[in-house]
Structure 1
Amino acid sequence: MKVLITGGAGFLGQRLAGELLARESLKIGGVQQRIDEIVLLDVTRAEGPDDPRVRIEEGDIAERAVLERVIDGETAVIFHLAAILSAEAEAAFELGMRINFDATRELLEVCRARGHAPRLVFTSSVAVYGGDIPEEVQDDTALNPQSSYGTQKAMAELLLSDYSRRGFVDGRVLRLPTVSVRPGKPNGAASSFASGIIREPLNREISVVPVSGATRVWLLSPRIAIENIVVGAEIDAAALGHTRVVNLPGVCVTVDEMVETLSQFAGPKAVARIEWAPDETIERIVSSWPSSWNVRHAKKLGFSGETTFRAIVQTYLEDELHILPKRDHGHH
């Protein structure tokens, strides 16, 4: 079986490739199928695990010729992770439209032309919601994005659902919470601070926080995000019911509570490395996102999430800093 990961040079793409190589197979259509090849596609050359099953492809995902090169009749599963992130998509409208929407349509068109209806897992976002949202977002809460990124993701969701209805692909949309704590440097996401607020102080660096302490966010660790993406690939379409979209579980936490958790782990010196620098654009984007979701449907399907932000920080310490826990983390 051949697997394609778009955004293969990115953080989640790299993690997903490693997870799939470790698993060696995916359960598709009730049958455990061996993974023979993983194609990592990105506009910048992916590092890629040193494994004969991995093929690195460099190219612009919005170009049909690139997609035709990496998707053939043997491509059984596609993980579509490539995206221009929220703040960047707001600043560079044409680029966001080209990668987040046009490229998704082109990818779906190539799948349609191939004619074998590959399974397609698309990572979407909390940003598809906005405006006057209820206290707790339901699976069927109306989409009302308040950013170009959210609009592009919402359009791609609708498109994927229709291509699935028509039998061109076997799609599933996973609306990811903000993934925290990511290692590395700040990225182009409006929610980048949700990782930096922990990562930088622990690294003895200044963390600039562009939102108020009362801002609420919905979070999930990278480890569990990857587990959920694999679950999404293995679920039978029939189990999804009338919709191809799933809101994933996460933790609702205020920025102040995140700071308090940092203090519990690393003390006042770490907290002193936080600089508050309000940014109206970032605040507007982030505060338009829901902070509490009804995820009963997701949990029935086998998706999971941490139960506390403390557990998310502990996961970061274990996975990135290799500091083992003093107690059990709150993943269930």
Structure 2
Amino acid sequence: MNILIIGGGGVVGQKLARRLAERGELRGQTISSMVLADIADPPQPEAPFPVASASCDISDAAAVAGLIDESTDVIYLLAAVVSAHAESDFDIGMRVNLHGVLNVLERCRALQSAPVLVFTSSLAVFGGDVPDPIEDWTIPNPQTSYGAQKAIGELLVNDYSRRGFIDGRAFRLPTISVRPGKPNLAASSFMSSIIREPLNGQEAVCPVDLDFPHYYLSPRRCVENLILGAEIDGDAMGSSRSMMMPGRTWTIGQMIDAMTAVAGPDPAKLIRFEEQPEINAIVKGWKYDLNPAKALSLGLKADDSFEDNVRYYIKDDLPGA
């Protein structure tokens, strides 16, 4: 079993690589090798099998061709230009989120080896005038360039699977919180920083009010779902390979209360509320009443509480913990 993680330098990619190294197997087979690819060589986890790093810009078809060959059994396609970045720079969003994904799919088609391909999409494919609750089969209506690019990626994964070029599956990720590291250019970045920074003794800015609801999943649970997502039999997914990954909806106030329940009252005092119109313009259009029925029926899971999300961050990622 040879695994390729494209986007292997990111938070989810690194956690996925470490978890696969611990497991040592996927889809009932022993892992023979793993390659982590990103725009710069990603760090490699210790593993009982060979692990390699590769630098690859997926918008370069030749670079993608050098990354994927007939021996590649499972591809995790995690790489993306995130929401606010794709909105502010249309060209780079299209280059990576659309043409980069197409380059990967076309390489698989050319090889005729039909690898399992796990594509991370986004709930940003929904928006505008859509019904509540949103179901897996609700027609995407993205209101950002990022959402549109992800929706196109889903359609391509579905059609390339129908044609037998890949064995694909696309998971619309909830916002992953609490993410370790520094804030990124995602519009949702504050949804981790308002927990992460206070737990690190640093001030954080929240651009929305306490009643703002959103749909979340912890990094730990996301990784477990991505592993199970690769192991699901393609026929079990039916005619559509796209589905929501399970999460839960909490308000900002509930998230802060969860942090207080786990870590005491002091971290919450470091949160400052300050409106940011450019962020509000994006996140206010996101929908929150979601029914991930297909993924739940296939065994994927949400976190039990946001207190768990906080505990996972403290145990897995808090510096010095």
**1:101–1:152 contact (8 Å) kept in structure 2:** yes
C-alpha separation in 1, matches of 2:79 and 2:204: 26
Matches within 5 A, 1:80-159: 80-159=77-156
The correspondence for 1:180, drawn from 173, 177, 181, is: 177
2:31 is equivalent to residue 35 of structure 1: yes
2:24 is equivalent to residue 24 of structure 1: yes
Aligned pairs, number: 320
**1:61–1:67 contact (8 Å) kept in structure 2:** yes
Q: Which residue of 1 aligns with 2:41?
A: 45
SS in 2 for 1:197: helix
SS in 2 for 1:272: helix
**1:8–1:42 contact (8 Å) kept in structure 2:** yes
Q: Post-superposition shift, 1:322?
A: 8.7
Structure 1 residues 139 and 319: CA distance shift in structure 2, 3 A: same
Q: Which residue of 1 aligns with 2:213?
A: 216
Over residues 155-210 of structure 1, what are the superposed CA-to-partner deviations in whole Å (9 max), with x where a residue is unaligned? 11111111111111110001110000011111111111111111111111011112
TM (normalized to structure 2)?
0.96
In structure 1, what residue type is equivalent to 2:163? R
Gaps of 5+ in 1: 325-332
TM (normalized to structure 1)?
0.93
Over residues 117-172 of structure 1, what are the superposed CA-to-partner deviations in whole Å (9 max), with x where a residue is unaligned? 11100001110000123332111111011111111100111111111111111100
Q: Which residue of 2 aligns with 1:15?
A: 15
Over residues 252-309 of structure 1, what are the superposed CA-to-partner deviations in whole Å (9 max), with x where a residue is unaligned? 0111222222233334432221111211221121122221211222111010011321
Q: Post-superposition shift, 1:323?
A: 9.9
Over residues 56-107 of structure 1, what are the superposed CA-to-partner deviations in whole Å (9 max), with x where a residue is unaligned? 1112111111111110000011000000111111111111111111000011
C-alpha separation in 1, matches of 2:153 and 2:40: 23
SS in 2 for 1:75: coil
**1:317–1:323 contact (8 Å) kept in structure 2:** no
Gaps of 5+ in 2: none
Aligned Cα root-mean-square deviation (Å): 1.6
C-alpha separation in 2, matches of 1:71 and 1:167: 17
Greater Cα offset, 228-237 or 266-275? 266-275
